[in-house]
Structure 1
Amino acid sequence: MSTDATLNATYEEVMDCAAFIKANYAGEMPKVALVLGSGLNQMADELTDAVRFPYHGLPNFPTPTVEGHSGVLHLGKLGGTPVAFLQGRVHGYEGQSEQKLAFATRVMWAIGIETLILTNAAGSLNPEAGPGNLMLITDHINNMGLNPLVGPNDDRFGPRFKDMTYCWDPKHNDTLRACAKGLDINLFEGVYVGMRGPNFETPAEIKMWQTLGGGAVGMSTIPEALAGHHCGLRICGISTMTNYGAGIMPEELNHEEVMEFGAIAAVNLAKLLTAFINKVG
């Protein structure tokens, strides 16, 4: 397939999926979308007037294979505000292509989303921010070896060279800080470090990222942020601290711990994001 044909195929697949969603949803199309990370699925239960689209039923949409990522798009209202919830995501370690990692984000852009909220389960690099706490993402370090903008650029999605200074929207971050303060929620802040996984990081890697200013480490989020910022979406994000990075504590890490502490933190996260969405939606 030629370069032009490849670009057109990717764009047309995104637009076909967006058209399907619009044709099968009678409600007001939202301006805000939220990606739910590991352990956060229960937030979807907060929606009213919800219509659910399993990923496997959406044209060209990639389907997660990881436990805790059910793979359902929810369109409905949260506190009266129209919103889209992406319940689950695909990861680079599942073997998905870089274009597939960007697909859901681009579909959100194509249906008219303006603000994309990214949540994730992450390992804390900050000894003061233990499991169950929340971290506002102020910036990121991409160590995944993945970037959905690599390859021929399609100007219909965004420019060839995108400045990243304000990828994590400063005004949205200010609003999240204000919402957390009003709700008396302790919101840490820091830089999110993306690793490809699926193995957890070594103690030596954790020490390196701490030295370089990382606040949390995980295996997602950055491809979505890159694709969304490229499309012109306003990006913000919250990491749920589900464990300490390897070597900070003597215990070994496991996926069950990620799910358990993700569920604990989801209570405060739901309150925070509901307040935020009602302000910006």
Structure 2
Amino acid sequence: MKRMEEHQRQVEQCVSFLSEVVPFSPDIVIQLGTGLGNFGDTIQRTFSLPYSDIPHFPQSTVASHKGNLILGHLGDKKVAVLQGRFHFYEGYSTKEVTFPIRVLSLLGAKTLILTNAAGGLNPLFLPGSIMVMRDHLNFLGENPLRGPNVDNWGPRFPDFSTPYHPGLIKLALDSASRCKIDSVISGVYVCIPGPSLETPAETRWLRECGADAVGMSSVPESIVAKHAGMDVLGLSVVSNVNDPDHFEPIILEDIIATAEAMEAKLESLLIEIVGQI
């Protein structure tokens, strides 16, 4: 109980701080994942603040995550960009991982777009594909809603029959077609704790569980956003696809390089999606 009370107090203090310093309340939040951190430079920014200057914000320890909150405009849309995220494997709880999403939801954001780099599990996928998340599996062993519920934040037992908004999924697929971006598919994302990458046996098992791609993020954030009443869209850049019977080493630098190579296409897709929301 005391932990939840402290978490609630910290969230409310952060909301109070940001409401006094940000130029506007964003409608759309975009969280950038591994190798995808430059999108914040493409928006017409009006405000930027390092995470280290925001009360109670966790600090990213991953080199490819810059750690800035950026507010600005993308066309006529007011957006907040989280330039970098936090992970369960860094030692944070899922409540800490999702702290920025909770705060921005209380500032009035209604839509969350998550991006990440993921490993392909579906043998029909190709490296460099973009997977629109239609569902997820939470294999972290922890849920950010565990503990006393704050009724003002959302219901005790939120419905997850549609964890990712069907209208946004269709919008993303249609936007990919308009942008002439090939290899955009939809699938099921599974979140594992990390930081060790999956073994051949784990890869085989995750496939059998129904997952099309695997990563170490995004699911806690989507849970909190859905609890808060936000519409959620998830986009995964498939960095590699491994056959458990002919397994190849998974090198983090290769994952980052693939994500960075896809960044321009993902940026075009994000701009089109936001413009249509």
Same fold (TM over 0.5): yes
- Specify the alignment match of 1:222 in structure 2: 219
Gaps of at least 5 residues in structure 2 are none
**Secondary structure of the equivalent of 2:175?**
helix
Give the whole-Å Cα distance in 2 for the aligned partners of 1:212 and 1:58. 39
Query: Match of 1:276, SS?
Result: helix
Match of 2:233 among 236, 247, 261: 236
Task: For 2:57, give the aligned amino acid.
Answer: F
Q: What pairs up with 1:60-79 in 2 under 5 angstroms? A: 60-79=56-75
> What CA distance in whole angstroms lies between the structure 1 residues aligned with 2:5 and 2:241?
43
Alignment of 1:1-281 (within 5 A): 3=1, 5-26=2-23, 28-186=24-182, 187-245=184-242, 247=244, 250-280=247-277
- Larger deviation: 44-53 or 231-240? 44-53
The change in CA–CA distance for 1:14 and 1:246 in structure 2 (over 3 A counts) is: farther
Counterpart Cα distance in 2 of 1:43 and 1:54: 16
Are the aligned partners of 1:200 and 1:246 in contact in 2 as well (CA < 8 Å)? no
Change (3 A) 1:246 1:154: farther
The CA distance in 2 between the partners of 1:132 and 1:59, in whole Å, is 37
- TM-score between both structures, scaled by the size of structure 2: 0.95
Superimposed CA distance per residue, residues 140-185 of structure 1 (whole angstroms, 9 cap, x where no aligned partner): 0111112101112111211111111011111111111111111112
TM-score, normalisation: structure 1: 0.94
Between stretches 239-248 and 180-189, larger displacement belongs to 239-248
CA contact (8 A) 2:144 2:220 kept: yes
AA of the residue aligned to 2:268: K
Closer, same or farther: CA 249–46 of 1 in aligned 2, 3 Å: farther
How large is the Cα RMSD of the aligned pairs? Answer: 1.5
Counterpart code for 2:196: N
Unaligned 5+ runs, structure 1? none
Instruction: Tell me how many residue pairs correspond in the alignment.
Output: 276
**Distance between the aligned counterparts of 1:81 and 1:154, measured in 2?**
30
Instruction: Work out the percentage of aligned pairs sharing the same amino acid.
Output: 37
Q: Distance in 2 between matches of 1:246 and 1:73?
A: 38
